[in-house]
Amino acid sequence: MHDVTATATAPDLFDAERSALAAARAVFDAGPQQPAADCHQALGELMGAFDRLLRETRRLVRRSDRSELEMNRLNQRLQDLAAELEYRATHDPLTGVLNRAAIIDMANRHFVSHDLSLVVLDIDHFKRVNDSFGHPTGDQVILGVVDCLKHLVPAGAQVGRVGGEEFTIVLPGWPLERAAQTAQLVRRAIEGRAFGLPDGSRITASFGVSWLARGGSFDLAYCAADEALYAAKRGGRNQVARAGLPAAEPSPASSA
């Protein structure tokens, strides 16, 4: 509730200005017969009050400008923080690609209006890399694989990390054969890349590819691609297998 008493007894911040204005008005109302000294004094007081009022107004304007600037900075900081939190919630911290939850959500949203191909890839014998050379070396291998993906996966497709050494590629509107061809490009790039392992060994990956019509779901597409992936593993690794079809391009390096 508004405190009327407090308002009535609060000091008038412009009391000096009001007094100077009242004195100047009294001189003005008295007419031209007022002594020049009185007019001069009233004018001086009025000028002083006006000058103080200008200074106070400028101070308030500067304070308002600073407050607005600070508010804008705070608003920008909040927007940046919200964007950072959203990024952290949807991206893998090591690789920067989409995390499992985000890639699943994206695939399901695409299925509303598109057919979709899904590629699942798994780095062959990755546990051996971690056990032999340590997790930092394993992380470098993962980053190298992601680098291959970023260079070869075209615009419009999305890469997600769904497990430690397992990734998916979501390809909206792509037929199965075209998705399998892209998987082959990535497979060859990984096989041919020098990862700099201490023993000089090569890294390979196995791939499973599936296709579902519009209205499907990530779970169904993933199950089909995962079955194809394990067919590639059983076939000797370092291969691309399509759901419902035999593995393609078995490699002499499959035992790596």
Active centre residues (catalytic):
165
Alpha carbon 170 to its chain's center: 19
CA distance 42 to 26: 9
Total residue length of the chain: 256
Reading the block at residue 61, the tokens are 């304007």
| Residue type (1 letter), 124 | D
CA distance 68 to 173: 48
Whose tokens are 């199965």? That residue is 176
User: How far, in Å, are 19, 32, 199 from residue 35 at the CA level?
Assistant: 20, 8, 107
Alpha carbon 90 to its chain's center: 8
User: Nearest CA to 229 among 218, 217, 243, 250?
Assistant: 243
Reading the block at residue 51, the tokens are 């000058």
Beta strand residue intervals within the chain, DSSP E: 116-123, 158-161, 166-172, 205-212, 240-242, 247-248
Reading the block at residue 173, the tokens are 């509107």
CA distance 44 to 46: 5
DSSP code string of 34-51: S-HHHHHHHHHHHHHHHH
| Residue type (1 letter), 127 | K
